Structure 1
Amino acid sequence: MRVLVVERDPTYSRASTVLSVGGIRQQFSLPENIRMSRFSASFLRNIDEYLGVPSDPPIDIQFQPSGYLFLASPENAASLEATVKLQREEGVQVALLSPKQLKVKFPWMETEDVAVGSYGLEDEGWFDPWTLLNAFRRKATSLGVHSCSGEVRGFVTSAEDVMPPPSAALTTTRIKYVHIHMPDSLEYQPVACALVVIAAGAWAGRLLEGSGIPGGLCRPPLPVQPRKRYVFSWHCPDGPGFSCPLLVDTTGAYFRRDGIAGNYLGGMSPPEGLEPDPGDLSVDRDYFQEWVWPRLARRVPAFESLRPRGAWAGYYDMNVFDGNGIVGVHPRVQNLFVGAGFSGHGLQHAPAVGRALAELVIAGRFQSLDLRRLGWDRVTQGEPLREAAAV
């Protein structure tokens, strides 16, 4: 099998991976997401067995096992407790902490409006995304994977090559060629292919929509759209210390420690109706002043005197249908596989999704994890699969 990776940004300067905060957690509300996180945690723990290259030094992703801490208000306490029950059934090590217990363990926190918190005890924290990305690239190169700096602009399909069974109600097709636009070129480079995997993140929906596949075959469309998210950094010498987890507040604001010198990273997804324009990666610094800082300062009184530092923006590949990834074969394009729409948790699930897609390609079915519920059927049938623990 010959594999070609087409990447339009070979520097990865705009890639969601390197612009993320690099978190991994087990605390999800869907069994599929929990199981993917469990595999990814094992993958990262044994990363040299998977991604090590002979003669290269060991891979150090600088994992910080400080856990995630989700806080719930009285109105959401029962939901959080039910989610923790499911997580424990899946083998996740997670503790439920009362306000008094939270105050003892994290004395820097204000807990007056908190009913309960869930704290991950194992396989949660954050790591260096750039190191993981480069480890994947080096391993792929060592295995003979080819890479191409260019942009996929369309597909050439052939319905004549596919004879659906007489009982089939829908026409199907196959992709025969991919049109790749190369830098400084006025023409497309056609590449013949046996199968195509779309893992284009925030741009997966637009890529498929403008692909040249006959319009009727792209319905329903892939419901993945880019959403711009800000990450802010600040300094607070009197803030939480080394034991600080990645805290997700009752308001949706979050933060984590960044090193050990009083530096922190954090942000918050915007309220409905206030989505920023995803046309560029500019940062609205007023958003921190108006939305993020007040919420964090109420939770951590020391943050009232924090000093803002830098900020950047990155993209969520938002599945606007239900906020969960779509993994599987396109229902009407037989050799088109998709892994996209993870809505903010794609980096931590990437090892599991990669394995799942490889199993579909090689064996024609999921073998290690049953991810059928994350396939296209729920989109075509209009049955969303919600994740309660979205950040």
Structure 2
Amino acid sequence: DLQRSLGAHTVFLEPGPLKERFPWLNVEDLGGGSWGSREEGWFDSMGMMNGFRRAARASGVEYIDNAVTGLDLADGRVVSVRLATGQTVACGTLVNAAGPRAQQVAAMAGLSIPVAPYKRYSFVFASANPIPGRMPNVIDLSGTFVRPEGELFLTGNTPQGDGPADYDDFEMHFEEFDDHIWPALWHRIPAFDALKVQTSWTGHYEYNMLDHNGIVGFHPEVRNFMFANGFSGHGLQQSPAVGRAVSELIVHGAFQTLDLSPFCYERISRNEPFLEEAVI
């Protein structure tokens, strides 16, 4: 009801109508399922990021291909940023948007946030049996998801033994597909009984271990240090709104469009979770 009141075309289908709409789906153990019936889907993540980058450059933003190695503070503010090449960049406002390495940057200012890299494995596979009709993104109760990728399919899950990883750990665990993902896929979509992995890769979520939600806003003591961290896999979806909110805080000193104050840093120090449960 909330989603529909805000303009989303979400419908809830009980098992019978769900099976009629998606006959390839096993609904025997479901009470129903929600489906975005219109204006839902997925997009090219790299294409979106490159579009943002081109627009930023057209607006005068300069990108520096370098690594931050340290921050210099004075009077409760970050005054400069030290780079791996030895250069120093003066700082008016620092925005920590370092993704899985957010805590490394926070620590350079003597700060701490409960954000760590969590590994996620992605697999692209072919199916000997086609899925008829238009297939939406399917998120199973197990946390396994699958969606079409041209003639192939993309899948992933919340891996077993999920926990913080080393910053440079991108080792692939191929057994995750055979032991956990494929059984979940076959249970939910019985046509997925003959699959072949075509390619796979490992990435990191910037996982907020407190409540799986973003941290957006200034630090109360290091006054020009702003957080945009901890989105736990939702960062690309939320990035347009977060970018706008960050710019409003810098320019106006307050949110103008959307009130993102529930995402403030202060909830971290108070240990008051603002819980996001829909994380896969």
Decide: shared fold, TM above 0.5.
Answer: yes
2:54 aligned residue (138, 142, 151) = 138
In structure 2, distance between residues paired with 1:266 and 1:379 = 32
Aligned ranges for residues 49-68 of structure 1 at < 5 Å? none
Instruction: Give the 3 Å change call, closer, same or farther, for CA 276–364 of structure 1 in structure 2.
Output: closer
Which residue in 2 is equivalent to 1:194? 92
- Matched letter for residue 239 of structure 1: P
In structure 2, distance between residues paired with 1:150 and 1:325 = 25
Contact 1:326 1:339 in 2 (8 A): yes
In structure 1, distance between residues paired with 2:130 and 2:207 = 32
Contact 2:124 2:198 in 1 (8 A): yes
- Matched letter for residue 218 of structure 2: V
- Matched letter for residue 240 of structure 1: I
In structure 1, distance between residues paired with 2:156 and 2:32 = 22
In structure 1, distance between residues paired with 2:97 and 2:164 = 24
**Stretches of 4+ aligned residues off by more than 4 angstroms:** none
In structure 2, distance between residues paired with 1:195 and 1:382 = 26
Tell me the SS of whatever aligns to 2:247.
Answer: helix
Which residue in 2 is equivalent to 1:371? 260
Which residue in 1 is equivalent to 2:79? 176
Instruction: Give the 3 Å change call, closer, same or farther, for CA 126–181 of structure 1 in structure 2.
Output: same
In structure 1, distance between residues paired with 2:256 and 2:172 = 42
Which residue in 1 is equivalent to 2:125? 234
How much does 1:87 deviate? Answer: 2.2
| Cα shift readout 1:231-289 (whole Å, capped 9, x = no counterpart) | 01110142324410111001111100001x2x100010124x34484432221111110
Q: Is there any run of 5+ residues in structure 2 with no aligned partner, and where?
A: none
1:245 aligned residue (122, 136, 143) = 136
Which residue in 2 is equivalent to 1:117? 33
Which residue in 1 is equivalent to 2:208? 319
**1:345 and 2:230 aligned:** no
Q: Is there any run of 5+ residues in structure 1 with no aligned partner, and where?
A: 1-84, 160-172, 183-187
Contact 2:118 2:162 in 1 (8 A): no
Which residue in 1 is equivalent to 2:106? 208
Instruction: Give the 3 Å change call, closer, same or farther, for CA 274–176 of structure 1 in structure 2.
Output: closer
Contact 2:212 2:277 in 1 (8 A): no
Which residue in 2 is equivalent to 1:310? 199
In structure 2, distance between residues paired with 1:330 and 1:241 = 51
In structure 2, distance between residues paired with 1:240 and 1:345 = 27
1:283 aligned residue (172, 179, 192) = 172
In structure 2, distance between residues paired with 1:276 and 1:364 = 34
In structure 2, distance between residues paired with 1:96 and 1:325 = 28
Tell me the SS of whatever aligns to 1:125.
Answer: coil
Q: How many percent identity over aligned positions?
A: 39
How much does 1:121 deviate? Answer: 2.3
Matched residue count: 279
Contact 1:108 1:239 in 2 (8 A): no
**1:100 and 2:16 aligned:** yes
- Matched letter for residue 204 of structure 1: A
- Matched letter for residue 238 of structure 1: N
In structure 2, distance between residues paired with 1:366 and 1:240 = 45
Tell me the SS of whatever aligns to 2:69.
Answer: strand
Which residue in 2 is equivalent to 1:354? 243
Structure of higher RCO (CA pairs closer than 8 Å, 6+ residues apart): 1
**1:86 and 2:7 aligned:** no
